[in-house]
Amino acid sequence: MSNSFYLFTSQIILSTGPCDRLLEYDGITSNRLVLREHTGKLILSCKNVPTLKEKICGLGNSITIIKNLDEYQYLICKYIPNLSDKSIFKFKFQKIRLLIFLFIHKFTKTLVQKNHQISDILDRLNKSGNNILKETSELIQVYREASNTKGFDIDKSKDIESQINLNNDHFVYFDHTESEINKILFRIYSLDPDKVGLRKHHDYDKDKYDDEDDYQMDRNEYTIY
């Protein structure tokens, strides 16, 4: 696990900003597609989206998935502050949030690089996105139906990872594993850090992160076509 991926992840998990949607223009009800980071920084701006959809197979599906994921991340962002650090839901929701940002990161990078295999990449990305949507929908339904979320606190006498894991390891598509993410969450929430042999998140020096890693986001404003 690279240091910059740790920073990318921890910045999302530890974000204290107000909940907001990432889509400024959704490319569905508007001819423009404008995406911002959770910090508000512009990461993607596409004009003439209907024309782009005709040129790039799968783009329309990607945009629809992003719109749905964006609604979920907005909703989950409001849930998380009300949950205990011992809550299984908190760990699972944080993973879903991270998956949504990874999906958007991958989508943005694919468009910006204008890869000649863009349609194939989007096809695989869309399959992953639909799986994430399904898992998110099911998790939110379980959360809403739970009359007492305290009944979903982590039981430290049992295997912790098996309690907080999602139904599927969606992180594999993004070249990581759910186990990696668990370790980051253990650091952040100081969940038995000595037992699992992990350092706490404040032990990391963000000035030492690799400049050339994929998760060092380019801060330029992207305009496509």
Chain segment 117-148, per-residue pLDDT in tens: 899 999 999 999 999 999 999 999 999 998 67
Bigger pLDDT: 149 or 72? 72
**Contact assessment for residue 71 and residue 34, using Cβ atoms and an 8 Å cutoff:** no
* Kind of pairing between the strands at 23-26 and 33-36: antiparallel
- What are the tokens at 144? 């809403």
DSSP string for residues in 34-90 = EEE-TTS-EEEEES-HHHHHHHSTTHHHHHHHHHHHHHHHHHHHHHGGGS-TTBHHH
Q: Is the pLDDT score of 211 beyond 90?
A: no
Per-residue confidence at 6, pLDDT binned at 50, 70, 90?
A: confident
Instruction: Output the pLDDT for position 195.
Output: 57
Bigger pLDDT: 1 or 202? 1
- For the segment 52-70, the average pLDDT, to the nearest whole number, is 96
Instruction: Output the pLDDT for position 156.
Output: 86
Q: Report the 10 Å Cβ neighbour count for 42.
A: 15
DSSP H/E element including 124: helix 118-145
Instruction: Output the pLDDT for position 15.
Output: 84
Instruction: Output the pLDDT for position 192.
Output: 63
Instruction: Output the pLDDT for position 203.
Output: 41
- For the segment 100-126, the average pLDDT, to the nearest whole number, is 91
Dihedral of the CA atoms 21, 27, 32, 37 (nearest 10)?
30
Average pLDDT score over the chain: 85
Per-residue confidence at 85, pLDDT binned at 50, 70, 90?
A: very high
- Would you list the domain boundaries of the chain? 17-168+215-224
- What are the tokens at 53? 């959809």
Per-residue confidence at 221, pLDDT binned at 50, 70, 90?
A: very low
d(C-alpha 69, C-alpha 66), whole Å:
5
Instruction: Output the pLDDT for position 205.
Output: 40
Instruction: Output the pLDDT for position 215.
Output: 54
Q: Is the pLDDT score of 152 beyond 60?
A: yes
d(C-alpha 101, C-alpha 89), whole Å:
18
Q: Report the 10 Å Cβ neighbour count for 210.
A: 13
Per-residue confidence at 18, pLDDT binned at 50, 70, 90?
A: confident
Q: Is the pLDDT score of 223 beyond 80?
A: no
